Structure 1
């Protein structure tokens, strides 16, 4: 009888408890999608748009764990593989222009494994 009760309680627990999956999975695809609002600034210079700042903030808000931030770092670094220095410099200036504290230095040579 006790065994059946325990199995029943376990079944109830499994049905009632939501799975512990992360809602926002960070991938290079999500990072690449977030790049679109600031392509104009990075390519041509000028002023950083509100959409650009919102995109950076959204990307950061989704980076909950150290692993998330390291993935974002690696994806940005991959995007820089063929980028010119001016494109990298403009991208690196976005957090400051938006008043955002970014968790790592945006550059071609950042060590993403050290991002916390």
Structure 2
């Protein structure tokens, strides 16, 4: 599958997810989150062997934008759906923050339980 087809698929999926997600004025929107991580798609789906500078810049920008509990929960749910729709390789998704040298509570994982993630963060 070409990168262009995958990119279009992710964009369409992001629009569908955003239509389902409840949005608030100050929250990070699902399309924003997906757009910031779009440069990571080739790596996350196994089409590239390494992350790119634009990928890490997008991941870092997203990390900086997610500030509230509401942001964490909505962005987690968004990325969970996006990862499943794009057939992201779970091990690569888990490796992304380390490869980009960022610390973030947001996994890009189709198997994450966003509710328990939020509870774990509140205990810290």
TM-score by length of 1: 0.68
Task: Could you tell me which runs of 5 or more consecutive residues in structure 1 were left unpaired when the two chains were aligned.
Answer: 1-21
Task: Name the structure 1 match of 2:39.
Answer: 37
CA distance in 1, matches of 2:64, 2:31: 16
Task: Name the structure 1 match of 2:99.
Answer: 97
Choose from 56, 73, 80 the match for 1:77.
Answer: 80
Task: Name the structure 1 match of 2:69.
Answer: 66
Instruction: Please give the per-residue CA displacement for 1:16-39, whole angstroms capped at 9, x wherever unaligned.
Output: xxxxxx985311111111121112
**Shift in Å, 1:82:** 3.7
CA distance in 1, matches of 2:57, 2:92: 17
Contact 2:39–2:54 (Cα < 8 Å) also in 1: yes
Instruction: Please give the per-residue CA displacement for 1:42-89, whole angstroms capped at 9, x wherever unaligned.
Output: 2313121111111011001001111101111101111123444x6232
Q: How many residues align?
A: 94
SS of aligned partner of 2:89? helix
CA distance in 2, matches of 1:36, 1:105: 15
Compare CA radii of gyration and give the structure with the larger one.
1
Task: Could you tell me which runs of 5 or more consecutive residues in structure 2 were left unpaired when the two chains were aligned.
Answer: 1-23
TM-score by length of 2: 0.64
